Amino acid sequence: MPGQPNPVRRITIVDVARHAGVSITAVSKVLRNAYGASPEMQTKVRAAIEQLGYRPSATARGLRGRTYTIGVLLPEIRNPFFADVLDGVTEHLDGGEYQLLMAQCRNDEACEARLTDAMIDRSMDGVILIAPVSSRRRLQAVARTVSTVVVGRHGHSADYDTVTDDDVAGAGLVVGHLAELGHRHIAHIEHFETDPVRLTEMPNAQRADGYRRAMNAHGLADGIDVVSTSYTQEGGYLGAQRLLDREVQPTAIFAGADIVAMGVFDALTEAGLSAPEDISLAGYDNTTFAAFGPISLTTVDQAGHQMGVDAARLLLDRIADRAKPTAQLKLSPTLVARRTTAAPSTRGRI
C-alpha cells in the first residue's frame, strides 16, 4: 500500500465554502483580508478553514494573482558571507505572508538565466539576486518582468533596487591598516574580470580599484602588485603561490574575500610560512571563518545581515508599488583587525 493511496483529494476553497455555507468569493475575501466580509463571515470561514485543515493552493493563486513566493539567487552556498545575507532576508520575511525559496548559481551566466526564468515561470512575486554576473541588459529584462532587488552589484538602474557595500572604501581600509603597520609592498589577489560592465559593477572589481587608489593615496604606487585568479579557496591558493614565487615577496597580502584568504593560508602553510610572522594577511567579508579562533583573520565587515534585511525590505516595498522610483543603498564597511596582520618582519628576507 505504499504509493497510490486513495488519491487524497486536497481540500479546496469550494470545500471550505460549502462547509461554511457561504460563497467561494466570501472565502477568497477572507483569505486575502479583502474588503467586504463581515466579522461573522470571517469567523465562520476561519472556523471552516481550521476544521478542514484547508491551505490555499499557491499554484492556483498564482494563475490569477500572486504566489506569495520570493526567490533568492545565491552565487555560492559555501561562501558564508552569502549565508549572512540570506539570514537577513529570512529574518525580515519571517512571519510575513511570503515564502522564500532559493537557488544557487556559481557565477554562471547561463545558470542565472535559467534560474531567473524558472522563477518567472513560477510566477514568483519578487526576486533577490545576490552578486549576479549576468549582463545589465539581462538584469533589466528580469526586473521588468518581476520585482527585483540586486544585492552586491553596483550600477544604478531604473528597473531594480540595489543594496551594496562601499567596496572601494573597504579596500581602502585594508590598505590603510597595512600601510600604517609599515607595509609598503602590499599585494592584492583579485577575481579575474574582463567584461567591461562587470569591471565597473562587480564588488571584486571595485575592491581591486579601491586597492589601487589607496596604494597611490598612501604613496605606495611602487608597492602595487596584483594577481588575478578567482574568489575561491583555490584562487587564493594559486594566487599566493604566484606571489611567493616573486623575486621580491610582498610583506602583506590583501585577499579580495575571506574565502580567498583561506587558500592563501593553504599556500603559506605549504611553504612553511605563517601569518603574520612571515607575511601579513587580510581578507574581506568578515565571515564566521575569519572570526574563528585559530584563524583570527583581519578582514572587512560589510554587514551582510543588514544587507539582507534591507534587500527584503526594498523588495516588499517594490512588490507593493511597482512604480516607485528605485533606490540604491550603499552601506559603509568597517575594518576588523585581528591577528593575521602585524608590522612587517625582516625574517629571512634579503
Helix (H) or strand (E) holding 137: helix 136-145
33/194 with CB nearer DNA:
33
**CB–CB of 251/276 below 8 Å?**
no
Cis amide linkage into residue 80, ω under 30° from 0: no
Query: What minimum distance in Å lies between the beta carbon of 216 and its own copies?
Result: 33
Q: With CA atoms as reference, report the closest residue to 75 among 153, 14, 159.
A: 153
Query: What minimum distance in Å lies between the beta carbon of 350 and its own copies?
Result: 27
Q: What count of other Cβ atoms lies within 10 Å of the Cβ of residue 185?
A: 18
Query: What minimum distance in Å lies between the beta carbon of 90 and DNA?
Result: 24
Q: Please report whether residue 119 would count as binding DNA according to CB under 7 A.
A: no
Q: By three-state DSSP, how is residue 321 classified?
A: coil
Q: By three-state DSSP, how is residue 75 classified?
A: coil
Q: Please report whether residue 186 would count as binding DNA according to CB under 7 A.
A: no
Which phi and psi (to 5°) does residue 150 adopt?
A: -105, 125
How far, in Å, CA of 8 to CA of 163, rounded? 45
- Give the footprint of its own copies on residues 108-167 (CB under 8 A): 115, 117-118, 120-123, 144-145, 158-159
Binding segment for DNA (CB under 7 A), chosen from 31-39, 186-194, 311-319, 332-340, is 31-39
Number of residues that bind its own copies (CB under 8 A): 58
- Give the footprint of its own copies on residues 50-109 (CB under 8 A): 55-60, 62-63, 67, 69, 71, 77-78, 80, 83, 86, 90, 99-104
Q: Please report whether residue 326 would count as binding its own copies according to CB under 8 A.
A: yes
**CB–CB of 150/129 below 8 Å?**
yes
Taking each helix axis as running N to C, give the angle between helix 13-20 and helix 24-32, from 0 to 180 degrees, rounded to the nearest 10.
110
Per-residue DSSP letter, 344:
P
Q: Please report whether residue 272 would count as binding its own copies according to CB under 8 A.
A: no
How far, in Å, CA of 145 to CA of 127, rounded? 10
Binding segment for its own copies (CB under 8 A), chosen from 18-26, 37-45, 181-189, 317-325, is 317-325
Helix (H) or strand (E) holding 189: strand 186-191
How far separated are the first and last CA of the chain, in Å rounded?
78
The site partner of 24 among its own copies, DNA, none (C-beta below 5 to 8 Å per kind) is: DNA
Query: What minimum distance in Å lies between the beta carbon of 256 and its own copies?
Result: 18
- Give the footprint of its own copies on residues 293-312 (CB under 8 A): 293-295
How far, in Å, CA of 17 to CA of 25, rounded? 8
- Give the footprint of its own copies on residues 212-251 (CB under 8 A): 233
Q: By three-state DSSP, how is residue 54 classified?
A: coil
Q: By three-state DSSP, how is residue 191 classified?
A: strand
Binding residue for DNA (CB under 7 A) from 6, 33, 38, 194? 38
Number of residues that bind DNA (CB under 7 A): 29
Residues that bind DNA (CB under 7 A): 9-10, 12-14, 22-26, 28-29, 31-32, 34-38, 40-41, 54, 56-57, 60-61, 63-65
Residues that bind its own copies (CB under 8 A): 1-5, 8, 55-60, 62-63, 67, 69, 71, 77-78, 80, 83, 86, 90, 99-104, 115, 117-118, 120-123, 144-145, 158-159, 233, 262, 265-266, 269-270, 288, 292-295, 318, 321-326
